[in-house]
Amino acid sequence: MSRWQYFNPSPDGKHVGDCVVRAIACALETDWATAYAILCTKGMELSDMPSANHVWGAVLRDHGFRSRAIPDTCPACYTVADFARDHKNGTYVLGTGSHAVTVADGGTIYDSWDSSGEVPIIYFYKEDAEK
């Protein structure tokens, strides 16, 4: 069973194309506009789009997050829901290659749609989350 919680801080209620902004806003506990500005500033610094994986990864690293790859022992069978079940302490931002989503607050998946069936390939976490 998914522990998905609807989360969409977009001021216009949009929920397509801004998953990175939503995930960063949730993980950094800020509003959508601030997260967008942080991403745009880093994107300009790195000469790439704010949604580029290395841009939002750099933003998270700037805010004390570290990253780990998820082993591909079963590439299609370990889902966001599985990750949330296994990681109940801390705040995590998961990347699937085409989507970003935050897991926090005891394994709750925060997104504008139920992305619990997506397959993560990388995650970012705060040091204390892994202890």
**Is 56 in contact with 100 (CB distance < 8 Å)?**
yes
Q: What is the pTM of this model?
A: 0.93
Helices 53-62 and 32-46: angle between axes, nearest 10 degrees: 110
Q: Could you give the CA distance from residue 117 to residue 81 in angstroms, rounded to a whole number? A: 6
Predicted confidence pLDDT, tens digits, the chain (131 residues): 569 999 999 998 887 889 999 999 999 999 999 999 999 999 999 999 999 999 999 999 999 999 999 988 887 789 999 999 999 999 999 999 999 999 998 999 999 999 999 999 999 998 665 54
Residue ranges of domains in the chain: 4-130
| DSSP state string for 43-77 | HHHHTS-TTSHHHHHHHHHHTTEEEEEPP-SSTTT
Burial of 107 per CB tally in 10 Å (0-12, 13-18, 19+): middle
- Which among 16, 29, 1 has a CA at the least distance from the CA of 93? 29
Q: What is the pLDDT of residue 121?
A: 95
Q: What is the pLDDT of residue 13?
A: 85
